[in-house]
Amino acid sequence: MHDLISLGWSQVFESLFLSLNDPTLVPARVAAVDRGRWTLLGPDLAVSATLSGRLSNQTLNAEDLPVVGDWVAARMEGGSAMIEHVLPRRTSLMRKAAGRAQRAQPLCANIDLVIVASALDAKVSPNRVERTLAVVWDGGAVPLVVLTKVDLAPDAEEIADELRARLLGVDVVATSSRAEDGLDALRPYLQPGRTVVLLGASGAGKSSLVNRILGQEHQATGEVRADDARGRHVTTRRELFVAPSGAIVVDTPGLRELGLWEAEGGLDAVFADIAALALKCRFRDCSHSDEPGCAVVRAVGQGQIAPDRLEHYLRLRAELASSRERLEARSPGHDDKRWKTVSKSLRQRDKLHNKLGLKH
């Protein structure tokens, strides 16, 4: 069992919790989410909880539902646990929602550090790393690039240096989970109370690294014993672990499908050099393609910026613009409410038809 501090609790959450001003509630952190059930961890607490009626009535948008890493205020009554409030998130990692009406879906919340893993046994794609960094910054977390499988790459330091030069201000370390190499370099990042997640393509070595970070603490199955609503002992999954270093590691399968969700802030942070040059373009809405007086195109001509970097920037910006258009085509909250009404009236129609013995 862990106390609140070792689960990542801080002054900020303490204040938010106290402002609820309800001494009958206890704070807890979401360690897993399964259809309609949330595994909560707290001081002397591992419990499977549901949403309170009030909270589920208030929650119109999927993004407001608790996700792994969220801090919640729960009511414990006769062995059952009910989530009454989700404390405001400090940071989150968002996935672009599937479907036409796009919406950012939080995958996990209150993350401090995101380890962006890229394996050295394949060609490291700086473009892909940059895209992931944009998502990380967007959600307010700090990234650390970890090049894995350094035992397979004699030129690892060169690749790391190239990345450092390109990703200004981002730390890059190279590790090998197999040879236990470079793992010491991770230590400064894995401090007590700090919440860490790993992102990276399949095969990037995330699981191997998580196992190294968690050591024997980590149960392969990720199971935890919890009490269900009727006070029975049940075994549920968990995806949030406290490492021997004191860091909290979120290891959730959902993160592996992270899509692109970039805001301009994220994009301009990754392409800070281009963003700075763009201020000197003659036209404020310069598209950096064929306008006269374009400072960005000039910089490419002078070899200051690699042409493929500009091309990549323009492609990402176009993607961003089209997803924003789709977002704006829809007013927030509206569809969800309407869908509730529609599905309710469909259910009522079905009931009526059943009563009348009609087939539909």
Ligand X SMILES: Nc1nc2c(ncn2[C@@H]2O[C@H](COP(=O)(O)OP(=O)(O)OP(=O)(O)O)[C@@H](O)[C@H]2O)c(=O)[nH]1
Contact residues: ligand X, CB under 6 A: 148-149, 151-152, 176-178, 200, 202-208, 256
Minimum CB–partner distance for residue 153 and ligand X (Å): 9
User: Would you say 174 is a known binding-site residue?
Assistant: no
Of the candidates 229, 233, 227, which has an alpha carbon nearest to the alpha carbon of residue 80?
Answer: 229
User: Would you say 281 is a known binding-site residue?
Assistant: yes
Minimum CB–partner distance for residue 154 and ligand X (Å): 13
Q: Are 40 and 29 spatial neighbours (Cβ–Cβ below 8 Å)?
A: yes
Instruction: Please give the C-alpha separations between residue 169 and each of 110, 193, 269, 270, in angstroms, as whole numbers.
Output: 22, 23, 10, 10
H/E stretch holding 265: helix 264-270
User: Would you say 208 is a known binding-site residue?
Assistant: yes
Nearest CB to ligand X, comparing residues 256 and 309: 256
Minimum CB–partner distance for residue 189 and ligand X (Å): 18
Contact partner, 294, from ligand X, Zn ion, none, Cβ < 5-8 Å per class: Zn ion
Contact partner, 148, from Zn ion, ligand X, none, Cβ < 5-8 Å per class: ligand X
Nearest CB to ligand X, comparing residues 81 and 209: 209
- Residues engaged in binding Zn ion (CB under 5 A): 281, 286, 288, 294, 296
Q: Are 90 and 80 spatial neighbours (Cβ–Cβ below 8 Å)?
A: no
- 3-state SS record for 269-334: HHCHHHHHHHCCCCCCCCCCCCCCCCHHHHHHHCCCCCHHHHHHHHHHHHHHHHHHHHHHCCCCCH
Q: Which residues are CB-contacts of 140 (< 8 A; sequence separation ≥ 6)? A: 90, 91, 92
Contact partner, 237, from Zn ion, ligand X, none, Cβ < 5-8 Å per class: none
Contact partner, 151, from Zn ion, ligand X, none, Cβ < 5-8 Å per class: ligand X
H/E stretch holding 60: none
Instruction: Please give the C-alpha separations between residue 185 and each of 117, 125, 181, 206, in angstroms, as whole numbers.
Output: 14, 22, 9, 16
Nearest CB to ligand X, comparing residues 84 and 151: 151
User: Would you say 205 is a known binding-site residue?
Assistant: yes
Contact partner, 152, from ligand X, Zn ion, none, Cβ < 5-8 Å per class: ligand X
User: Would you say 108 is a known binding-site residue?
Assistant: no
Nearest CB to Zn ion, comparing residues 17 and 313: 313
Contact partner, 296, from ligand X, Zn ion, none, Cβ < 5-8 Å per class: Zn ion
In angstroms, rounded to a whole number, what is the distance separating the alpha carbons of residues 34 and 338? 26
Minimum CB–partner distance for residue 198 and ligand X (Å): 8
User: Would you say 206 is a known binding-site residue?
Assistant: yes
Q: Binding site residues for GTP, as ranges?
A: 148-151, 200-208
Q: Binding site residues for Zn(2+), as ranges?
A: 281, 286, 288, 294
